[in-house]
Amino acid sequence: MKLNLPLALVVAILITGCSNDSTKKDNKVEELLSQMTLDEKVGQLNQYAVGPELTGPGEKTGQTKVRYDQLLSGQVGSVLNVLGAKNGREMQKQVVENTRLGIPLVFGYDVIHGYKTIFPIPLGESASWDLELMEATARVAAVETSAAGVQWTFAPMMDVGRDPRWGRVMEGAGEDTYLGAEIAKARVKGFQGSDLSSTNTIAACAKHFAGYGFSESGKDYNNVYMGQHMLLNTVIPPFKASAAVGVATFMNSFNDLDGIPSTANPYLLRDLLKGDWKYDGMVVSDWNSVGELIPHGVARNKYEAARMAINAGSDMDMEGAAYVENLKQLVEKGEVSMNVLDDAVRRVLTLKQRLGLLDDPYKYFDEAREAEQMMKKEHLDLARDAARKSIVLLKNQGNLLPLKGKRIAVIGPLAKDKDTPIGNWRAAADPNSAVSLFEGLTEGMPDVNFTYAEGCKLSIGPNNFANELQIENNDRSGFAEAIRVARSAEVVIMNLGEPAYMSGEARSRSEIGLPGLQLELLKEVYKVNKNIVLVLMNGRPLTIEWESENIPAIVEAWHLGSMAGHAIADVLSGKYNPSGKLTMSFPRSVGQIPVYYNHKMTGRPSTGSNMVFYTHHMDVERSPRYPFGYGLSYSIFSYSPVTLIDSVKTAGTSITAKVTVTNNSAADGEEVVQLYIRDVVGSITRPVLELKGFQKSMIKAGESKEFTFEITDELLSFYRRDFSFGTEPGEFEVFVGPSSAQLQSASFTLK
Ligand code: BGC
Q: State which of 113, 208, 251, 287 you would mutate to test the pocket of ligand 1, scoring each by most atoms of that ligand within 8 A of its C-beta.
A: 287
Q: How far from 374 is each of 3, 116, 188, 365, 612, CA to CA, in Å?
A: 21, 6, 21, 14, 60
Question: What pLDDT sits at residue 465?
Answer: 61
The 106-109 sheet, strands edge to edge: 152-153, 106-109, 78-80, 46-49, 317-318
Task: Check: CB of residue 732 under 8 Å from CB of residue 666.
Answer: no
Q: How far from 749 is each of 303, 649, 729, CA to CA, in Å?
A: 56, 6, 7
> If DSSP states are collapsed to H, E and C, what string results for 674-739?
EEEEEECCCCCCCECCEEEEEEEEEECCCCEEEEEEEECHHHHCEECCCCCEECCCEEEEEEEEEE
| Mean pLDDT for back-to-back runs of 10 residues, the chain (751 residues) | 44 44 63 97 94 59 68 94 95 96 98 98 98 98 98 98 98 98 98 97 98 97 97 98 98 97 98 98 97 98 98 96 97 98 98 98 98 98 98 98 96 97 96 97 98 92 62 89 98 97 94 96 98 98 98 98 98 98 98 97 78 88 96 98 96 97 98 98 98 98 98 98 98 98 98 95
Rounded Cα distance between 144 and 202, Å, is 10
Q: Which helix (H) or strand (E) holds 443?
A: helix 437-444
Question: What pLDDT sits at residue 460?
Answer: 74
Q: What string of DSSP letters covers 366-396?
A: -HHHHHHHTT-HHHHHHHHHHHHHH-EEEEE
56 C-alpha to ligand 1 centroid (Å)? 7
User: Which residue owns the Cα nearest ligand 1 atom 2?
Assistant: 286
- DSSP 8-state code for residue 628: T
Closest CA to 671 of 195, 129, 258: 129
Catalytic residue among 130, 286, 317, 419: 286
Rounded Cα distance between 364 and 360, Å, is 9
Q: Give the angle 685-689-695 at the CA atoms, nearest 5°.
A: 145
- DSSP 8-state code for residue 212: G
**Ligand 1 atom closest to the CA of 207, numbered from 1:** 9
CB atoms within 10 A of CB 9: 17
Question: What pLDDT sits at residue 54?
Answer: 62
Cβ neighbours of residue 720 closer than 8 Å, sequence gap 6 or more: 682, 683, 684, 726, 728
284 C-alpha to ligand 1 centroid (Å)? 11
Q: Has 286 been annotated as catalytic?
A: yes
SS3 at position 741: coil
- Which residues have CB under 6 Å of ligand 1? 55-56, 110, 154, 207, 286-287, 505
108-121 residues labelled b (16+ CB within 10 A) or e (exposed): bbbbbbbbbbbbbb
Question: What pLDDT sits at residue 101?
Answer: 97
333 C-alpha to ligand 1 centroid (Å)? 32
55 C-alpha to ligand 1 centroid (Å)? 6
HSE on the CB side for 143, CA within 13 Å? 25
140 C-alpha to ligand 1 centroid (Å)? 21
Q: How far from 28 is each of 161, 235, 357, 587, CA to CA, in Å?
A: 41, 36, 11, 54
Q: State which of 252, 505, 507, 508 you would mutate to test the pocket of ligand 1, scoring each by most atoms of that ligand within 8 A of its C-beta.
A: 505
287 C-alpha to ligand 1 centroid (Å)? 6
Rounded Cα distance between 269 and 289, Å, is 15
User: Which residue owns the Cα nearest ligand 1 atom 4?
Assistant: 287
Rounded Cα distance between 132 and 701, Å, is 24
Rounded Cα distance between 240 and 227, Å, is 18
Rounded Cα distance between 516 and 514, Å, is 7
Task: Check: CB of residue 139 under 8 Å from CB of residue 14.
Answer: yes
* The pairing of beta strand 256-257 with beta strand 249-252: unpaired
Rounded Cα distance between 183 and 500, Å, is 23
User: Which residue owns the Cα nearest ligand 1 atom 12?
Assistant: 55
Cβ neighbours of residue 148 closer than 8 Å, sequence gap 6 or more: 83, 84, 85, 88, 115, 116, 370, 374, 428
Q: State which of 61, 153, 154, 159 you would mutate to test the pocket of ligand 1, scoring each by most atoms of that ligand within 8 A of its C-beta.
A: 154
Cβ neighbours of residue 736 closer than 8 Å, sequence gap 6 or more: 639, 642, 657, 659, 673, 674, 675, 676, 707, 709, 743, 744
Burial of 488 (0-12, 13-18, 19+ CB in 10 A): exposed
Residues 366, 369, 371, 375, CA torsion sign: negative
